[in-house]
Structure 1
Amino acid sequence: MATGKSELLNSVADEAEARGLTVLKATGLRAERRTPMAVFGQLLLHADQMAEQDTGTTARVARLLDDAKFTAMLRDADNEREEHVRAHVMRSLTLALRGLARGGPLAVLVDDVQYADIPSLQCLQYAMRELRAKPVVIVLGLRTGPHAERPMFSAELLRHPRLTQLRLTTLGETGTEELLRAHLDEAQAHALAPDVHRLSGGNPLLVRALIHDLLAHGPLDHDHRAPVQGADSTLPAGRTVPAGDAYRQSVLSCLHRGADAVLAVARGLAVLDDAASDATLADLLGLDRETVARALRTLAAAGLTDGGAFRHPLARTAVLDDLSREDRVGLHRRAAALLRRHGAEPPVVARHIVATGEVEGAESLDVLWETATRARRDEDVSLAIACLHLADESCPRGERRSEILAELARLAWRVRPSTLGPHLGALRAAFDEGWLAEQAVPVLISGLLWQGRFDEAAEVARKGQVAYEGASAVSGYLASGSVRTTYPTLRERIGAENWPAPHSTWDVLTTPGCDPRGRVGAALNAVLSRGVDPHAADLAETVLQGTRLSDATLETLTAALSVLIYCDRLGRAAHWCDALLREATRLGGPGWQAPLSAVRATIALRQGNAPDAVRYALTALSWISPQGWGVGIGSILATLVSAHTAMGQYEQAMSYLDHHLPEGLPETRYGLELSYARGQLYAAMGRVRPALDDFLTCGELMTRWGIDQPALVPWRSAAAEMHLRTGGEAEADRLVREQLAKCGPGQSRTRAQTLRVLAEVSGLRRHHHALHEAIEELEKCEDRLELVRALGALSRSHHALGDLGQARMMARRAWRIARDARAEALCEQLLPYGDGEAGAAERPARDGEVCPAEELTDAERRVASLASFGHSNREIARKLFITVSTVEQHLTRVYRKLNVSRRKDLPHDLLADTAC
Structure 2
Amino acid sequence: MHPQFSLQGEKCSILTRSGVGQAMAVLGSASTVGLVAELLAADEAEVRTAVRRLAAGSSGRALFDDFDIGDRILRDTPAEVRRELHCRAAKLLHDRGFPSATVAEHLVAANAADYPWAASVLLTAAEEALANDQIDRAVDRLELAYRATRDPADRAAIAIRLVRAEWRFSPSNRTRNYSRVRAAIRASRVPTAQVPAAVMFMLWHGQTQHADQALGQLDCGRLDDAAPTIDFLCAWLRTSHPPHAQRHRRLLAAQARRRPVPAERPSPHLLGAELLTGLFTGRPFDETVTLARRLLTRHRLAASTVETLAAAVHCLIYTNRLDTAAAWCDSLLAEAEARQAPTWQSIFAGLRAETMLRKGNARAAIDDAVLALNYVPAAHLGVWIGTPIAALVRALTMAGRHADAEAQLRRPVPRALFESRFGLPYLHARGHHQLAVARADEAQRTFRRCGHLMRRWQMDFPWLVPWRNDLAAAHLALGEHRHARAFATRHLDLLGAATQHRTGGVSLRLVAATGDRYQRVRLLRDAAAIARSGGCDLELATALGELGAAHRAVGDHDKSRMLIREATRLADSCGADPLLHDLVGDRPRRTAPHVSHLRRPSNGLDALSPAERRVAELAAHGKRNRDIAAALDITTSTVEQHLTRVYRKLEIARRTELTFVFGSARPSKAGSSVSVTG
Partner Cα separation in structure 1 for residue 480 and residue 358 of structure 2: 28
Query: One-letter code of the match for 2:304?
Result: A
Partner Cα separation in structure 2 for residue 482 and residue 447 of structure 1: 13
Partner Cα separation in structure 1 for residue 375 and residue 198 of structure 2: 23
Q: Quick one: structure 1 residues 372 and 824, their matched pair in 2 at CA, closer, same or farther if it must change by over 3 Å?
A: same
Alignment of 1:377-456 (within 5 A): 377-397=131-151, 399-418=153-172, 421-456=175-210
- Shift, 1:701, TM fit: 1.0
- Shift, 1:472, TM fit: 6.3
Alignment of 1:726-745 (within 5 A): 726-743=478-495
Moved more, 709-718 or 772-781: 772-781
Partner Cα separation in structure 2 for residue 820 and residue 377 of structure 1: 42
- Higher relative contact order, chain-length normalized (CA < 8 Å, sep 6+): 2
Query: One-letter code of the match for 1:584?
Result: A
TM-score, length basis structure 2: 0.78
Contact 1:768–1:794 under 8 Å retained in 2: yes
Aligned to 2:66: 310
Partner Cα separation in structure 2 for residue 562 and residue 367 of structure 1: 38
Query: One-letter code of the match for 2:66?
Result: F
Contact 1:478–1:484 under 8 Å retained in 2: no
Q: Quick one: structure 1 residues 722 and 586, their matched pair in 2 at CA, closer, same or farther if it must change by over 3 Å?
A: same
Query: One-letter code of the match for 1:605?
Result: L
Structure 2 residue 385 is the aligned partner of structure 1 residue 633:
yes
Partner Cα separation in structure 2 for residue 481 and residue 372 of structure 1: 30
Aligned to 1:69: none
Contact 1:716–1:736 under 8 Å retained in 2: yes
- Shift, 1:758, TM fit: 2.2
Query: One-letter code of the match for 1:372?
Result: A
Query: One-letter code of the match for 1:291?
Result: A
Alignment of 1:291-302 (within 5 A): 291-296=50-55
Q: Secondary structure at the match of 1:766?
A: helix
Partner Cα separation in structure 2 for residue 510 and residue 535 of structure 1: 18
Q: Quick one: structure 1 residues 778 and 261, their matched pair in 2 at CA, closer, same or farther if it must change by over 3 Å?
A: farther
Query: One-letter code of the match for 1:272?
Result: L
Using the aligned pairs only, state the percent identity: 30
Q: Secondary structure at the match of 2:94?
A: helix
Aligned to 2:461: 709
Unaligned 5+ runs, structure 2:
1-14, 588-598, 606-611, 618-646, 660-678
Q: Deviations over 1:230-285 (max 9, x none)?
A: xxxxxxxxxxxxxxxxxxxxxxxxxxxxxx96655654454333323454445445
Q: 2:536 aligns with which of 783, 799, 804?
A: 783
Partner Cα separation in structure 2 for residue 829 and residue 649 of structure 1: 15
Alignment of 1:689-704 (within 5 A): 689-704=441-456
Q: Quick one: structure 1 residues 839 and 396, their matched pair in 2 at CA, closer, same or farther if it must change by over 3 Å?
A: farther
Aligned to 1:95: none
TM-score, length basis structure 1: 0.59
Aligned to 1:370: 124
Contact 2:473–2:484 under 8 Å retained in 1: yes
- Shift, 1:359, TM fit: 0.6
Alignment of 1:335-346 (within 5 A): 335-346=89-100
Q: Quick one: structure 1 residues 913 and 831, their matched pair in 2 at CA, closer, same or farther if it must change by over 3 Å?
A: closer
Unaligned 5+ runs, structure 1:
1-259, 301-305, 850-897, 900-908
Structure 2 residue 288 is the aligned partner of structure 1 residue 288:
no
- Shift, 1:661, TM fit: 1.4
Q: 2:571 aligns with which of 795, 804, 818?
A: 818
Moved more, 769-778 or 570-579: 769-778
Aligned to 2:358: 606
Q: 1:334 aligns with which of 59, 67, 88?
A: 88
Q: Quick one: structure 1 residues 283 and 472, their matched pair in 2 at CA, closer, same or farther if it must change by over 3 Å?
A: closer
Q: Quick one: structure 1 residues 831 and 266, their matched pair in 2 at CA, closer, same or farther if it must change by over 3 Å?
A: farther
Q: Quick one: structure 1 residues 408 and 840, their matched pair in 2 at CA, closer, same or farther if it must change by over 3 Å?
A: farther
Aligned to 2:640: none
Contact 2:182–2:210 under 8 Å retained in 1: no
- Shift, 1:400, TM fit: 3.8
Structure 2 residue 561 is the aligned partner of structure 1 residue 561:
no
Q: Deviations over 1:34-69 (max 9, x none)?
A: xxxxxxxxxxxxxxxxxxxxxxxxxxxxxxxxxxxx
Partner Cα separation in structure 1 for residue 391 and residue 566 of structure 2: 26
- Shift, 1:291, TM fit: 2.1
Q: Secondary structure at the match of 1:652?
A: helix
Aligned to 1:104: none
Partner Cα separation in structure 2 for residue 351 and residue 472 of structure 1: 31
Query: One-letter code of the match for 1:309?
Result: D
Partner Cα separation in structure 1 for residue 488 and residue 166 of structure 2: 46
Contact 1:441–1:464 under 8 Å retained in 2: yes
Partner Cα separation in structure 1 for residue 265 and residue 536 of structure 2: 37
Q: 1:760 aligns with which of 499, 513, 521?
A: 513
Q: Secondary structure at the match of 2:172?
A: helix
Partner Cα separation in structure 2 for residue 671 and residue 529 of structure 1: 21
Q: Deviations over 1:812-870 (max 9, x none)?
A: 222222222222122122123279647869xxx99759xxxxxxxxxxxxxxxxxxxxx
Two-structure CA RMSD over aligned residues (Å): 3.6
Partner Cα separation in structure 2 for residue 740 and residue 695 of structure 1: 17
- Shift, 1:633, TM fit: 1.1
The number of equivalent residue pairs is 588
- Shift, 1:514, TM fit: 5.2
Aligned to 1:548: 300
Contact 2:52–2:58 under 8 Å retained in 1: no
Partner Cα separation in structure 1 for residue 451 and residue 577 of structure 2: 29
Partner Cα separation in structure 1 for residue 233 and residue 93 of structure 2: 47
Contact 1:442–1:473 under 8 Å retained in 2: no
- Shift, 1:434, TM fit: 4.2
- Shift, 1:407, TM fit: 1.7
Aligned to 2:30: 275
Aligned to 1:597: 349
Partner Cα separation in structure 2 for residue 509 and residue 805 of structure 1: 64
Q: Quick one: structure 1 residues 534 and 554, their matched pair in 2 at CA, closer, same or farther if it must change by over 3 Å?
A: same
- Shift, 1:431, TM fit: 3.9
Contact 1:441–1:474 under 8 Å retained in 2: no
Q: Deviations over 1:509-542 (max 9, x none)?
A: 9987754324333433443454763211211111
Contact 2:583–2:600 under 8 Å retained in 1: no
- Shift, 1:689, TM fit: 0.8
